[in-house]
Amino acid sequence: MNEVEVAVVGAGQAGLSAAYFLARDGLRPGTDFVVLDHSPAPGGAWQFRWPSLTYGKAHRVHDLPGLPLEDGDPGRPSAEVVGAYFARYEETFGLRVRRPVDVTAVREGEGGRLRVESDAGVWATRALLNATGTWDRPFLPYYPGQETFQGRQLHTAGYRGAAGFAGQRVVVVGGGTSA
């Protein structure tokens, strides 16, 4: 069993930001704290965004503390630009993210520690930062008549581009960047 002071679960914007501040406060990545991420590559949820969402349309909601993203090509897909930026961020600050790692359980451990169980091992930690986000389990609210609606219902997590909707009538619910 590995012992750390802090386990960060997730290496998207929240997880990397937390790791940055832990390191800035003197904790050593990989020794005093661990970052576990189930994604195959850096980029958090950004790596799964649709190709038509270019970096120039992303509203700079991806910047992380200590290293702003200033040189992205506005015409490239945000998934590519932000994914490369997150990889550079991890390397610049030596955050040593472990991936792909699936955390399967967090339980009460011994000596006041939590037991973080994963497919890559077990960590005993004094603190846990849950930065898992919502991309893998998007929230689909219930609305009356939903079960009888015969059209396509899609969350933005499953959107791949406008081509799949050509010639159809579409209603978009929401007003954020993903809408």
100/103 Cα distance (integer angstroms)? 10
In a domain, 162, yes or no: no
Q: What is the pLDDT of residues 114-168, one digit of tens each?
A: 999 999 999 999 999 999 976 667 777 888 888 898 888 888 777 778 888 889 8
Say if CB 7 and CB 116 are below 8 A apart. Answer: yes
In a domain, 163, yes or no: no
In a domain, 120, yes or no: yes
Any idea what the CATH number is for the domain that residue 75 is in? 3.50.50.60
Domain holding 74, by residue range, is 2-130
In a domain, 6, yes or no: yes
In a domain, 85, yes or no: yes
Structural domains of the chain, count: 1
Q: What is the pLDDT of residues 19-56, one digit of tens each?
A: 999 999 999 999 999 999 999 999 988 888 888 888 88
